[in-house]
Every structure is written in structure tokens, then in C-alpha cells.
Structure 1
Amino acid sequence: MRLERLLGTGVEDVHDLGSSHSWTLRRASLADGREVFVKAARDQAGVFAAEAAGLRWLGEAGPGTPVPDVVAADEHMLVLPWLHSAPPSREAAERLGRELAALHIGNRPDVYGAPWDGFIADLPLDNTPDGRPWPAWYAERRLEPFLRLGARHLSTGDVRLVERVMADIETLAGQPEPPSRIHGDLWSGNVLWTGDRALLIDPAAHGGHRETDLAMMALFGTPHLDTVLGAYDEAAPLADGWRSRVPLHQLHPLLVHVALFGGSYRASLVEAARASLG
């Protein structure tokens, strides 16, 4: 069995957990007593390499970074520790806010992007390291490519609206901030509540703007979000006007959803683009 060869130990039991995008999900009990989570596919070398690299890189931000360890990875699978989930609590949310702030301001990268080829879901994500200011990087590396991918689901007016945001982004982006190590796909489904804390899984990690992670948490609803944000802002105060920039940072994930799932996300995208422009 491939998993046994990868881990160097026997596998006693495997439970099928279904699928996500183009990979299967399983829980495995190992002969050495460990339980692990296994994401597998016939050929997902780039996706699994990016996820493993991202988790390890986020972990380099400093002690207490809220990400799981990588047990093993190859071109066909990614193996993580099995994490027992629990209902979200205010205490865990407060801790998440502090730990996310520490991740964002600790051991910052020098440039935007990352030194590996990125993916968000199973779509390529341009991580070419880029020393330009964030607004130009965000427009060129995050908005424009996914606007092209999703354009078939949008009207000409919708495309022009997003292009207006891109043209005015220097004005809309707020005061400059240095790059942060960000999760990059921090919707509520990628926050795993484990009891006394929450861990971040399935990253599209890269050097980006820290407001992006917070905006993504708000996009589809994260439990106890006000508590997370309050603890975050206390630990690493956010720049004036950050709430007004939430729609700007949500444009990229919404364009990704339009590209992946079609016109059902069009109205949300248009609303965010209009709100970005004020």
C-alpha cells in the first residue's frame, strides 16, 4: 500500500470520508497507534506540494502558529495528523485571533508571492515572488487572471466594473503594509475547531496582505468572528478604514468561486466590486 510505503509503518484501518474537488479524503489508523488524515489523488503533485510547502512555511512564522504539522507528502497524497473537531467556543476564537495576528506579523516575508507554484482549490495560483507594492501585485496576480477565467459567466458590464477596481486600486488599497505570511483561503471550512484552539487547514499560503485573511473569514461566515477580530486587533492593531476595504479583499475569492462554480456567485462579486469603489 502506498500509504504504508510513504509512512514506513503498517496501516490497520482506513475510513472513506468522501471527496473534495479532484481528490479523495480518508482517515487511517496506523500500526504505531497514530491516526492520520489522508488526501489522495492519482496525480496531484503540484497541489499537494503547494499545500505541504504552505503549511510548513506558515509554521515558520513562530511558535504557536495555528497550523497542523505535515506528516508526509508525495505526488499522490498528503498526510496530516488526525485532528478531533469540537464545537467552536469563544475561548478558542479569542486564541485564534491572537495566534492569527502573531502569524501575520511574525517573521514577515520580504516580497509578495511565495517560492513555490501555488494553487487555490485545484486552480493554479500565480505565486511569482514580487517586490512591488501590494495594490499592483494584487491586481495583476490575483484579480486579472481569475477575471479572465470567470469572464464567461459575467456580463461585459461586470467585467468592466472589476476592471475599474483594478484601475483605481492604488487609491482603494489604503496605507501601505509590508507582506505577511497569510493562509490565502481562510473561509470558515478551513478553520478546524479542536476544543481549546482552532487550526488552519487547506491553505493557499503566500506572502500577501493580512487584511485578506480577515476578509475571507467574513465572506462565508466564521463562528465567533467578532471575538476573533477583537483579539486580533488588540494583538496587532489594524490600519484605519480596514473594514471598508473588506470587499476589495473579497474580490479575489469571489472571482475564484465564479471561475469554479459559475454564475451563482456573480451577484456577490458585483456587489463587492461596487462596494470596493464606494
Structure 2
Amino acid sequence: MKITKDLGRSHAWTLHEAALPDGRRAFVKKGGDFTAEAAGLRWLAESEAVAVPEVIESGAGHLVLEWIETGPATAAAAERFGRELAALHTSGAQGFGAPWPGTIAELLMDNTPAPDWPSFYVSRRVLPFVRQARDAGQLTAADVELVEEACERAGEVGGPPEPPSRIHGDLWNGNLLWATEGNASGWVVLVDPAAHGGHRETDLAMLALFGAPHLATITGAYREAAPLADGWRERVPLHQLHPLAVHVCLYGEAYRGSLLTAAADVLAM
């Protein structure tokens, strides 16, 4: 494998384009522990529901992936992706959690299974990052108390119980590659997962948090394939507590207000 171009940095690692011995192009990440990312990509691929890049090699401090050529987002690809995301979720998971240690960006994430989604979400996803942000001086004690009060309502306002879904776990627009000719024309290819068994509304809430091209089309196709329980729109703030807490840890004050607003919205449900 030969590095042919440096593509900059993302979080704690460097990004590169490379040429493989067989002539194929590849995408290379260096400088981190990519065990969870590789495991998540393979696990998502096992569902045969969504497109993900092939994991060519995963080793100490590097990850080599199939190169995905990208182009403009289309409504047809969005509609297809909505159906594929529904199929991914309904392919299921063995429980809430995953058998590998998790990461999101450069942050560690506890994937230890829990008996139900509310307890998993609160103890493994929201509170660890809220308390990490408090310890770093990014949230006050009062901020943490507000989020903790919202978390106490997760079981009450989280909707009817559902079996664990196979979810991407970090499904914001930047992790959707709109593929063109040469790979998977007309498909959305998913990258950088924080994959685990979770609640399917979490992926949809993450898409809504930062927006995505043709989001209404994605959501509409999803709901046709796998209808959501009543009140799913009102539950979006609950599912956004985790990504917002992560963003406070990563980027600080800029996301504090959004996190506290989401917590207040949960308490108002």
C-alpha cells in the first residue's frame, strides 16, 4: 500500500488516500485506535441492509477502507436509504450494547450490555459524557442536575418498549456518503459508526440534529417500511441528549445551551 495524498486531519488522527497493490484506491486513517470502528462497520455489513465501505485492513494505529467516490445527494438515493435504514434497524441486535469497547470521535464509550434501553441509554450514553464535561469545567453542577432529572424520565417518556435495533449510533450527515459511479451509484454509504444495539429512534434523532439532504424523504421512506410508535417526534430531544453531551465534551460551550434546552424539553414532556 502506498500513500498517494494527504487529506488533512479529523479529531486525533490523519486522513490519507492510498493505492493498493491491486491498483484499487483506499481511504486510510492513522493515529488512533480504530478497533470499534472496524468492528462496527463489519457488524453493520452483516445485516446486508445498508452500504458500508469494505474494511480492507485494521491494525495497530491504522484503518484501511474501500474508497468511496461521492457526488451530489439525490432524492432517489435518499428514498432508498430510508428503506435501507429501516431494514438495518429491524435486522436487530442481541441486546442493548455491543461485545466490543465503543468509541465516538476520540472519546471512549461503554458498550457493556444493559437489560433495557432506558437504563442503557442513561448509564452508558448520557451520564458518562455529562459528568466528563462537568469534570472538565464545561458544565456546572446545576447543568448536570438538570440533565440527570431528564434522564430519570427516560423510562416514562421513552415510548413503548422495543427490541434492540442494530443502529449506526453516530448518524449525522457527515457520516453519510452519497456514492456515485464506481462504487455504489445512487446509494448512501455509511461511515464512522458508533454501532451497537440501541433504540432505532436514536439514529433518526441524530439525523435531525444537524440536518441531512432530503431528510423528509429519508424519514418518509423509513416510516413506510418500519412505522414508528406514536409520539416519536416529541421524543427527539430525549434521543439527542447523548450526541449533545458528546459535543459539549468535544467542543465545549458552543453546545451547552442546546443540551440544556433538550433536557428541559424532556422534562416538559
Instruction: Give the TM-score range, shorter chain.
Output: over 0.9
Aligned to 1:126: 110
Q: Distance in 2 between matches of 1:67 and 1:219?
A: 22
Q: Distance in 1 between matches of 2:160 and 2:125?
A: 19
The normalised TM-score by structure 1 is 0.91
Q: Distance in 2 between matches of 1:34 and 1:170?
A: 49
Q: Distance in 1 between matches of 2:24 and 2:232?
A: 43
Q: Distance in 1 between matches of 2:249 and 2:147?
A: 14
**Are the aligned partners of 1:172 and 1:277 in contact in 2 as well (CA < 8 Å)?**
no
Alignment RMSD: 1.1
2:206 to 194, 206, 216: 216
Q: Which amino acid aligns with 1:57?
A: W
Return the offset for 1:199.
Answer: 0.7
Deviations 1:198-217 (A, max 9, x none): 11100011111000000001
Give the % identical residues: 57
SS of 2:131's equivalent in the other structure is: helix
Q: Distance in 1 between matches of 2:21 and 2:100?
A: 34
Aligned to 1:75: 60
Q: Distance in 2 between matches of 1:122 and 1:267?
A: 23
Return the offset for 1:29.
Answer: 2.0
Q: Does 1:135 align with 2:118?
A: yes
Aligned to 1:204: 194
Q: Does 1:243 align with 2:233?
A: yes
Residues 192, 141 of structure 1: alpha-carbon distance in 2 compared, 3 angstrom cutoff: same
Residues 133-212 of structure 1 mapped to structure 2, 5 A cutoff:
133-151=116-134, 152-195=137-180, 196-212=186-202
Q: Which amino acid aligns with 1:51?
A: E
**Are the aligned partners of 1:29 and 1:35 in contact in 2 as well (CA < 8 Å)?**
yes
SS of 2:34's equivalent in the other structure is: helix
2:77 to 77, 92, 105: 92
The normalised TM-score by structure 2 is 0.94
Q: Does 1:22 align with 2:5?
A: no
Aligned to 1:110: 94
Gaps of 5+ in 1: 5-10
Q: Which amino acid aligns with 1:75?
A: A
Q: Does 1:253 align with 2:239?
A: no
Deviations 1:39-96 (A, max 9, x none): 011xx3xx311100000011112x2422221111101211111110111000000011
SS of 1:262's equivalent in the other structure is: helix
1:58 to 44, 49, 57: 44
Q: Distance in 2 between matches of 1:138 and 1:257?
A: 16
Return the offset for 1:243.
Answer: 0.6
Deviations 1:97-147 (A, max 9, x none): 0000000001x11211100010000110000122x1111111111111011
Alignment size in residue pairs: 261
**Are the aligned partners of 1:66 and 1:100 in contact in 2 as well (CA < 8 Å)?**
no
Deviations 1:1-59 (A, max 9, x none): xxx3xxxxxx3x51000000111000112342200000011xx3xx3111000000111
**Are the aligned partners of 2:130 and 2:139 in contact in 1 as well (CA < 8 Å)?**
no
1:231 to 221, 224, 227: 221
SS of 1:244's equivalent in the other structure is: coil
**Are the aligned partners of 2:168 and 2:203 in contact in 1 as well (CA < 8 Å)?**
yes
Gaps of 5+ in 2: 181-185
SS of 1:71's equivalent in the other structure is: strand
Return the offset for 1:169.
Answer: 1.6
